[in-house]
């Protein structure tokens, strides 16, 4: 019943923990990026791990949890601000079971677990998205917005639309897991 989503085997690199990263994605500063496992980075995605906080030592810039999907053409860019006269980038943390639709630009500070973000969205700087929230397709979330748990946001600027059903967590979890199992290589 589950229709596989095929990808060409040559395009994707699969890691030991089951992450599938497209060779056509731009991963800058990979040493600063953490993928939780079974996370898919689609082709054309840009992940800016190089925009790290100034200062010595190793810094995690972008961390993604398990069963995440970064859609085609997504841009993941850590947020920045000038605080007390110092320009700095700040880390971006994304939880488990998070799907980000194609061509969405994410500059959020924190995204919780079980979050679904639609296609063609702009998630402004330092946005905080709590667990089980959803952002509809084509939504623009202004910087510094807080999206509470189990809320659906839509529009430009993105506004609260409705509370999501109580079973959202289970649904998103099964959908994201199912997507990962459907995402199958096609040898050519």
Partner 1 sequence: MAPTIHYYCPCQSGESVQTPPPPHMASSSASFHPLHSLFFCEECDAVRCNRCVSVEVSGYYCPNCLFEVPSASVRAEKNRCARNCFSCPICRSTLQVVASDPPDGGDGRPSVSLSNVGEPPFFLYCNHCRWDSAEVGITFEKPTGLAAQLQKFEDSAPESLEFERLKEHFEPFLRTSSLSSLSHVPSTSSHHLPTSSATAAASAALARDVPGVGKYNPLARSRVGRDRTANKDEMPEYKSRMEIGVLGQLGSEGDSSDVEALRRMESAEEIASLEQRWGNSWTTSLRTSDLRPLRIPLHSKVSKRCPSCRHILIKPEQKAQSVRYKIKLVAANYLPAMTVALPHTQGADATRRPQAKVPSASDDRNAGAMMAGKSYPFHLALTNPLYDPIQVRLSVQRMHVTAATNSTAPEKARRTPFAVSLPTSSFPVAAFAEAWEYDDDDDMFGLEDDELGLEMGRTRDKDGKGKVKTVGVLEKRANVTVVGGEVVIGKEARGHVKFNMLVSYTYRSDDPLPSEDGAGTPSRTVAKTPEVKTFTFYTVVDLGPILPREEKLDPDI
- Contact residues toward partner 1 (CB under 8 A) are 1, 3-8, 38, 72, 84-85, 102, 114, 124, 130-132, 140, 142-146, 148-151, 156-160, 165-171, 177, 181, 186, 188
Residues 6+ positions from 183 with CB-CB distance below 8 Å: 4, 5, 7, 20, 40
Residues 6+ apart with CB under 8 A from 107: 77, 78, 79, 92, 123, 124, 125, 126, 127, 143
User: Which of 58/84 has CB closer to partner 1?
Assistant: 84
What is the smallest separation between the CB atom of 152 and partner 1, expressed in angstroms? 12
Supply 29's token pair: 């500063």
Minimum distance of partner 1 from residue 31's CB (angstroms) = 28
Find the shortest distance in angstroms from Cβ 62 to partner 1.
22
Of residues 13 and 24, the one with the C-beta less far from partner 1: 24
Interatomic CA distance for residues 187 and 165, integer angstroms: 40
Q: Which residue, 54 or 167, has its beta carbon nearer to partner 1?
A: 167
Least separation in angstroms between residue 115's CB and partner 1 is: 11
Q: Which is nearer to partner 1, 75 or 131 (CB)?
A: 131
Structure tokens, 130: 């709590």
Minimal distance, residue 171 CB to partner 1, in Å? 5
Shorter beta-carbon distance to partner 1: residue 48 or 130: 130
The DSSP annotation for 31-96 comes to GGEEEEES-EE-TT-EEETT---SSSS----EEEEES-EE-TT-EE---EEEETTEEEE--EEE-S
């Amino acid at each position: 019943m589950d229709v596989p989503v095929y990808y060409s085997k040559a395009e994707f690199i699969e890691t030991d923990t089951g992450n599938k990263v497209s060779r056509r994605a731009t991963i800058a500063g990979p040493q600063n990026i953490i993928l939780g496992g079974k996370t898919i980075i689609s082709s054309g995605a840009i992940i800016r791990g190089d925009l790290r906080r100034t200062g010595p030592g190793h810094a995690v810039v972008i961390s993604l949890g398990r069963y995440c999907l970064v859609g085609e053409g997504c841009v993941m860019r850590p947020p920045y601000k000038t605080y007390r006269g110092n320009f700095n980038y700040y880390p971006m943390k994304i939880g488990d079971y998070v799907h980000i639709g194609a061509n969405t630009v994410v500059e959020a500070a924190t995204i919780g677990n079980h979050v679904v973000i639609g296609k063609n969205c702009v998630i402004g700087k330092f946005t905080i998205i709590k667990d089980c929230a959803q952002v509809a397709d084509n939504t623009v979330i202004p910087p510094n917005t807080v999206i509470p748990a189990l809320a659906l946001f839509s529009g430009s600027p993105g506004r609260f639309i409705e509370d999501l059903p109580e079973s959202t967590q289970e649904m998103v979890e099964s959908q994201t897991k199912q997507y990962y199992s459907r995402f199958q290589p096609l040898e050519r």
